[in-house]
Each structure stands twice: as C-alpha cells, then as structure tokens.
C-alpha cells in the first residue's frame, strides 16, 4: 500500500506515485483475476454436468467421468470417446433414482455454497472498490499537487521576468534615452561605465551627451551597475548577431552575382556585384544592374540608386563606367576613378527600362510604346526584388539620383515609393538629386535659345526668330508628332548651321571626339586640348563592355541584340511623354517630406541652367519656401565650384562650374563635393577648404 507519508512534499509524492505505479497496476490485475476465478467457481454449482459428475462420483461408477465431462477447460469432452458413451447409456437406467436424490441434495448443497460465494464475492468487490477509490483519490491528490507546484513556479518566473523587464526599461531610459545610442556607441557606453568602476578618467570613453549624472547612483547600487553593464553587453551582442545573420542570409542569395574580378581591373578594397532582377510575373523582363559597395565602411553608408536618361540610355555604360563609378576603361584595362561616388555611398546603377544595355524582354513586343509609368513600375519592382537579394540594405537610407531624362524617371519612381509606404513603410527614402533634368518641357527647352545666344553660338537675328517665330519646344513637339511646319524647319536649319555640327550641345567648351557615344542626341562630342579628361572615354566603354570576357565577369548576356550600345536601338519609347511636366511631382515629394536637390552643369546647352533655376524659384514660391541660403558661390578646394541657393530645408539648387550635361564626367571633383554635401544634408562650402 502507498502511504501518504511516503512523500514529504508534493514533488516527492509525485515521484513516489510514478515509482509505485507498476505495483498498483499489478495489484489491480490480481483483483481482476481473483474476481473472474470466483465467478467461474460459483457458476460451477449451477451447471447440470457438474451435478451429474458428482452423482457419478458418489456412485463410484465412473471415476474418470468428471475429467471427461464438458467444461471450459476440455473442449473435446463427450463426443470423441465411444466406450464412455456406451457406458453412460448402460448405467443410465440404474442411476435414475440415485441421481434424483443426489440432485436434490446437490441443490441444497449448491445453494449453501452459492450463498457463501456471493458473500465472499461481495466482500472482495467491496474491498476492491475501496482500494480503487483510494488509489484514484491519491492520484487526484498528486495531480493537484503537481499542478499547484507548477503554477507556483510559473507565477514566480512571471514575477521575476516582470521585475527584470521593469529594471531593463529603467536602464534603457537612463542609458539610452538621452538622444539614442547606436550600435557603435553601445561599446563606448560600456567602456565609460567600466572606467568609472576602475577609477580611471571619467570621460575618456564616454560618447557625446552620455548622461554622466547617473553614474554616482549606479556606483552606489552594485546590482544596478551590473545590470547596466550586462544590458549594454547584451545590446552589443544582439546587434552583432543581427548583423552577422543579415550578412549570412544576404550572401547566401547574392554570392552568385558577386564579381570576382573584371578583366584589367586594379586591386580594390570593396565588393561589387552585377546581375539580373526579374520585374514581371511571367519572368519575361529582367533588368541588369551593377552595384559597387562603398570603399570605406559600407555597413554605415547609404544606398544610392543612379539612373541615366535618354530615354533609353545605359546607367551602367554612362553612369558607372564614364561618370561617377569606380572605374573607367583605358584600352584593355580599367583605371580607378579618384572621385568615384562610392567613396561616400553604396552605388547601384540600373539599366532601365528593358531593352536598354543588357536589360531585356523575351517578348520583343514590349519594346513598342514603353512610357514613363511602365518604367516607374518596373523600377519599383526591381528595387523590391533587389532588396530581397540584398536584405541588409532594405532599411538603409536610400537616395535616388540621375540626370537628363531621369528628371522624369526619378520623381515618378519616388512618388510610387511614397504611395507604397502609406500602406506600410518599405522604402527608407531620404532624398532625390537631379542633374540637368527635364522637368518642364517648354521652360527647359526654350531656354536653349538664350544659352546659344549668350555664348555666341547664334546671331542676334537667329536668336529673335528662334524665340518668336518658332521656339525649340514647338519644334520638338511638331517633329515627334510628325507635323513639322515649314517655318520651324527653316528656323532649326538656321540654328543648326550657326551652332555647327562640330560643337557638342552637351558641353559647348570642348573639341570633338569623333564617334563618341556621349551623343545621346546624335551629335558629335568635343575634345578640349590640354584638359585631363578623356572625352572619348565612352568609346572605350563601348569597346570594353562588348568584350566576351567582360560580359562573363559581369554575369551579363546579350538578348535580342548582337552588340551592347550606350543608347538602345530596339526600344521605341513614347517620346510624347517628354511634354508631360514632372515639376509638380517634385513639389508633391517636397510636401511629403522628401528633400530635393537640382543641379546644373553650366556648359550644357541641352537642358540649360537658366531653365532649371527658373523652375526651382517658381516651385519654392508656390510651396511658400523661404530662402535659407541666398544665391552665392560655393567652393571646391581653393576654386569656385559653382553657385547655389537653398529654400528652407527641403529644396536646393546649385550649378557646377565648367561642367557639362554629364557633370560627374567633366567635373568629377566638384561633383563629388556636391554629392557629399547632398548626402550630409548641409549647404555647399562657402569658404576655401
């Protein structure tokens, strides 16, 4: 029997129960066997075959009859022994009277025995019932004891956890609530606290704005001090784990896009990647990208998307390998760009839309009638899918930059991001920068006449007819609609004659380089003797990117075309989109809290600075933005880099002195100074450096 004293506690009782459980089950089984045996024994006295066997035994006629009579233990009785059957028949008549007497006596005897069996059986059943109830009761007691023990422990853990949470919350307010401590400052905070404990110089490791006033109270409470140190250590460890986890997850996806080494590439300290991102559900369109991580500390630098214009020109060929990327081709090798923008940011270059550069559509009908909205949607999907491949950049500060027709691409893409973020923030958009952008067709294009005239490229007479008889926006509109009027045809013929085919409209100061690809409008490119600028560099780019070994290293392929080109020959862009202004979209972005910078190379006659400056001033007036930095010069080193004006904290304008339509190509150092100021959110330098 199990005694309640066997366990001195609930836990001991539970252990005792589980230890003696087999013994209990064994006893119950013994009760059941005894019960069945008694039942069989009692029923035996009511069986006529048993009574017959008794009478036969009393008569002494057949000693073996009982063994051979029908019973549960002898299934072959009474049917397999002929001699026995014959003997039974012979003795039947002689034994009738004796059998009757025996039966009568047997009934009396069996009745007494039945009463005795029933009494005994009742006692056993009652005893079994008592034991069973006792076992059930003890089992229930043990279950209740275990539950009570478990509940008490859980309650204790909940209380302890709540206390720890409250303590951690207090520490968070004390240690992190004075302005925010990033991951890099957590270690500094820990060193600061440790120095106080060791009696060293109090402020040596303390980060800026560290709440030194809490240190004395921490020192008087060793438990709180230990918790503070542990909290900071845990914060630092968790941060490191998250970083390593993100990097591991990211590398597992994008290692296939990692560039091991480009042909002719010099030694570098950063990683770069190239590949394709699918942008449609049918997997028919894929956009090609080139991504160069920052030279220094890429984990802390922002992500910048660069888009070239055209429409239909390559951001990889023009932007990455001719303007602000890390390399420029020179013969069979690459040379480092000393003023690459990946010194300040992680640079992502996208060939968009499909049909540009290495980007493609397996359905050629897509190339017919591509417009701004289609391009913006594909660019948005590209970024979503690119972040899936590079998850560690998803929450990074994101900037979108570009030039020329990117004045359409960038604002419309940013607008989609703002709308998308209303459903749940996905894009950490921090600003856009537009170089010599097409923002309003009539203002931008009609300012060309004044630029030509002020730079001496056309006569006074031609200037008058170019502004009165047929301005440039009218000419372009008629030309693309297929309804060019005779007057506009005559005016443009005269303008083209005076400006000369041998002056590049994208940079009026340089001499020509025949067959250059900077001619996004099919004009020749100048070359200025004495300048340390290879204006034929894009010719080098075309040759380089058409090499099979280069395409293999970039994980690129030609689809639907036989040769890579700076500007697409298969894309039929809806050029009437050119006449749809995007300056209003820029205004809506500013209202949504997205800072905007517009800059102009002052030697560009295609989208002159005068038109861009007028649009910025008008937009600032419409938005009610006050001038925060009056129009003034800014400096690059000890030279004037250009002029700038800032409106509030959301809109700024700047010129880059001596720069062309592709400012980072012609003035790389000044462009880098401007880019650095844009990312930092500060005005351009107003003094010598």
pLDDT digits (tens, 9 = 90+) for 227-256: 655 665 555 555 555 555 555 544 545 578
The pLDDT score that the predictor gives to residue 262 is: 97
Average pLDDT over residues 377-382: 97
pLDDT value of position 27? 76
Residue environment code for 138-163, b if the CB has 16+ CB neighbours within 10 A, otherwise e: beeebeebeeeeeeeeeeeeeeeeee
Tokens of 548: 């099979």
Higher pLDDT, 167 or 161: 161
d(CA 406, CA 225): 55
**pLDDT for 13:** 64
Tell me the pLDDT band of 149, cut-offs 50, 70 and 90.
confident
pLDDT band (50, 70, 90) for residue 48:
very low
Q: How confident is the model at residue 81 (pLDDT cuts 50, 70, 90)?
A: very low
- How many residues make up the chain in this entry? 689
Given a contact cutoff of 8 angstroms between Cβ atoms, the answer to whether 78 and 69 are in contact is: yes
The total of other beta-carbon atoms located within 10 Å of residue 587's CB is 18
Q: In the 8-state DSSP scheme, what is residue 567? A: B
First-residue to last-residue Cα distance in the chain: 97
Q: Give the pLDDT of residue 96.
A: 45
The mean per-residue pLDDT over the stretch 585-604 comes to 97
pLDDT at 296 over 90: yes
Going by pLDDT thresholds of 50, 70 and 90, the confidence category of residue 138 is: confident
Strand extents, DSSP E, 404-504? 429-435
Average of per-residue pLDDT across 188-203: 52
Tokens at residue 278, please?
């699918």
Quick one: pLDDT band at residue 80, thresholds 50, 70, 90?
Answer: very low
Q: Is the pLDDT of residue 620 over 90?
A: yes
Give the model's confidence band at 171: pLDDT under 50 very low, under 70 low, under 90 confident, else very high: low
For residue 627, report the phi and psi dihedrals to the nearest 5 degrees. -70, 120
Q: Tell me if 603 sits within 8 A of 451, measured CB to CB.
A: no
* Closest C-alpha to 374, from 463, 307, 279: 279
Domain boundaries, the chain: 4-161, 177-256, 258-457+503-680
Of 639, 652, 674, 644, the closest CA to residue 596 belongs to 652
Tell me which DSSP letter residue 512 carries: P
Residues annotated as catalytic (active site), given as ranges: 404, 604, 661
Residue 405 has what pLDDT? Answer: 95
pLDDT band at 482 (very low <50, low <70, confident <90, very high): confident
Structure confidence at residue 192 as a pLDDT band (50, 70, 90): low
Per residue in 339-358, is it b (16+ CB within 10 Å) or e — as a string?
bbbbbbbbbbbbbbbbbbbb
- At 2 the pLDDT is 45
Mean pLDDT of 329-354: 96
Strands 572-573 and 368-370: parallel
Give the closest residue to 336 by CA, choosing from 286, 424, 418, 269. 269
Q: Which residues contact 266 (CB under 8 A, 6 or more apart)?
A: 327, 333, 334, 335, 336
Q: Which residues contact 581 (CB under 8 A, 6 or more apart)?
A: 439, 440, 441
Position 195 pLDDT exceeds 80:
no
pLDDT of 517: 36
Give the least confident one: 131-135, 322-326, 336-340, 513-517.
513-517
Least confident of 12-26, 212-226, 489-503: 212-226
The CATH code for residues 258-457+503-680 is 3.40.50.1820
Q: Kindly report which listed range (152-161, 172-181, 467-476, 570-579) carries the lowest average pLDDT score.
A: 172-181
CA dihedral 348, 354, 358, 361 (to 10 degrees): 140
Residue 34: pLDDT band (50, 70, 90) is confident
User: 401, 304 in Cβ contact below 8 A?
Assistant: yes
Least confident window among 163-172, 430-439, 608-617: 163-172
Quick check: 178 pLDDT over 60? Answer: no
What stretches of 270-320 show up as alpha helix (H) in DSSP? none
| pLDDT higher than threshold 90 for residue 671 | yes
Residue 7's pLDDT band, with cuts at 50, 70 and 90, is very low
User: Among candidates 6, 554, 472, 2, which has minimal Cα distance to 265?
Assistant: 554
The 3-state secondary structure of 210-228 reads CCHHHHHHHHCCHHHHHHH
Query: What average pLDDT does this structure show over 29-44?
Result: 70
Residue percentage of the chain with pLDDT more than 70:
69
pTM of the model: 0.64
With a CB cutoff of 8 Å and minimum separation 6, the contacts of 424 are: none
Could you tell me the maximum CA-CA distance found in the chain, to the nearest angstrom? 162
pLDDT digits (tens, 9 = 90+) for 455-469: 999 999 999 999 999
Phi, psi dihedrals of residue 336, rounded to the nearest 5°: -70, 140
Pick from 137-141, 236-240, 326-330: least confident: 236-240
Q: Cα–Cα distance between 435 and 437 in angstroms, integer?
A: 5
The pLDDT value given to residue 56: 47
């Amino acid at each position: 029997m199990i005694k309640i004293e066997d366990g001195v506690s609930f836990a001991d009782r539970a252990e005792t129960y589980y230890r003696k459980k087999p013994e209990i089950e064994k006893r119950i089984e013994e009760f059941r066997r005894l019960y069945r045996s008694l039942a069989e024994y009692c029923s035996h006295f009511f069986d006529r075959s048993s009574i017959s066997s008794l009478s036969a035994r009393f008569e002494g006629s057949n000693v073996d009859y009982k063994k051979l009579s029908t019973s549960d233990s002898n299934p072959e009785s009474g049917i397999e022994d002929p001699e026995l059957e014959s003997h039974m028949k012979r003795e039947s008549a002689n034994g009738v009277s004796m059998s009757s007497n025996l039966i009568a006596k047997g009934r009396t005897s069996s009745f007494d025995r039945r009463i005795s069996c029933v009494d005994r059986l009742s006692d056993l059943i009652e005893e079994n019932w008592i034991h069973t109830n006792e076992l059930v009761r003890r089992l229930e007691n043990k279950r209740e004891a275990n539950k009570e023990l478990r509940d008490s422990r859980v309650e204790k853990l909940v209380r302890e956890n709540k206390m720890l949470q409250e303590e951690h919350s207090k520490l968070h307010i004390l240690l992190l609530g004075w302005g925010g401590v990033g991951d890099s400052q957590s270690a500094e905070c820990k060193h600061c606290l440790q120095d106080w404990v060791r009696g060293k110089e109090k402020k040596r490791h303390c980060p800026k704005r560290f709440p030194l006033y809490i240190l004395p109270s921490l020192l008087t409470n060793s438990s709180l001090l230990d918790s503070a140190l542990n909290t900071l250590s845990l914060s630092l460890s968790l941060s490191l784990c998250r970083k390593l986890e993100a990097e591991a997850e990211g590398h597992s996806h994008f290692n296939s896009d990692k560039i091991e080494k480009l042909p002719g590439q010099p030694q570098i300290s950063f990683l770069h990647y190239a590949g394709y991102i699918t942008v449609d559900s049918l997997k028919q369109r894929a956009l090609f990208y080139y991504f160069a991580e920052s030279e220094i500390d890429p984990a802390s630098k922002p992500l910048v998307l660069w888009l070239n214009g055209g429409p239909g020109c390559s951001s990889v060929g023009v932007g990455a390998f001719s303007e602000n990327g890390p390399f420029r081709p020179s013969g069979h090798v690459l040379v480092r760009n000393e003023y690459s923008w990946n010194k300040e940011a992680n640079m992502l270059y996208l060939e968009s839309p499909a049909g540009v550069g290495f980007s493609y559509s397996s359905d050629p009908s897509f190339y017919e009638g591509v417009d701004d909205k289609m391009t913006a949607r594909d660019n948005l999907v590209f970024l979503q899918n690119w972040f899936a491949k590079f998850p560690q950049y998803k929450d990074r500060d994101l900037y979108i930059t570009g030039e020329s027709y990117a004045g359409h691409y960038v604002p419309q893409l940013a607008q989609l991001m703002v709308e998308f973020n209303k459903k749940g923030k996905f894009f950490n958009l921090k600003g856009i920068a537009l170089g010599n952008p097409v923002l309003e067709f009539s203002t931008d294009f009609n300012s060309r006449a004044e630029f030509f005239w002020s730079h001496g490229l056309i006569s006074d007479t031609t200037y008058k007819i170019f502004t009165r008889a047929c301005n440039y926006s009218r000419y372009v509109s008629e030309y693309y609609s297929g309804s060019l009027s005779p007057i506009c045809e005559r005016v443009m013929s005269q303008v083209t004659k005076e400006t000369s085919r041998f002056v590049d409209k994208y940079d009026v100061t340089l001499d020509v380089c025949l067959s250059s690809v900077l001619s996004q409008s099919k004009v020749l490119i100048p070359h200025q003797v004495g300048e340390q600028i290879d204006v034929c560099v894009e010719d080098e780019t075309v040759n380089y990117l058409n090499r099979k070994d280069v395409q293999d290293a970039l994980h690129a392929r030609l689809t639907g075309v036989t040769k890579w080109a700076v500007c697409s020959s298969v894309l039929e862009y809806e050029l009437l989109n050119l006449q749809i202004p995007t300056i209003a979209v820029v205004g809506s972005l500013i209202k949504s809290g997205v800072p905007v910078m517009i800059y102009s190379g002052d030697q560009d006659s295609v989208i002159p600075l005068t038109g861009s400056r007028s649009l910025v001033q008008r937009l600032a007036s419409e938005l009610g933005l006050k001038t925060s930095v009056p129009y003034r010069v800014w400096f690059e080193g000890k030279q004037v880099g250009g002029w700038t004006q800032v409106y509030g904290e959301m809109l700024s304008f700047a010129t880059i002195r001596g720069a062309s339509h592709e400012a980072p190509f012609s003035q790389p150092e000044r462009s880098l100074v401007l880019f650095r100021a844009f990312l930092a959110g500060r005005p351009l330098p107003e003094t010598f450096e």
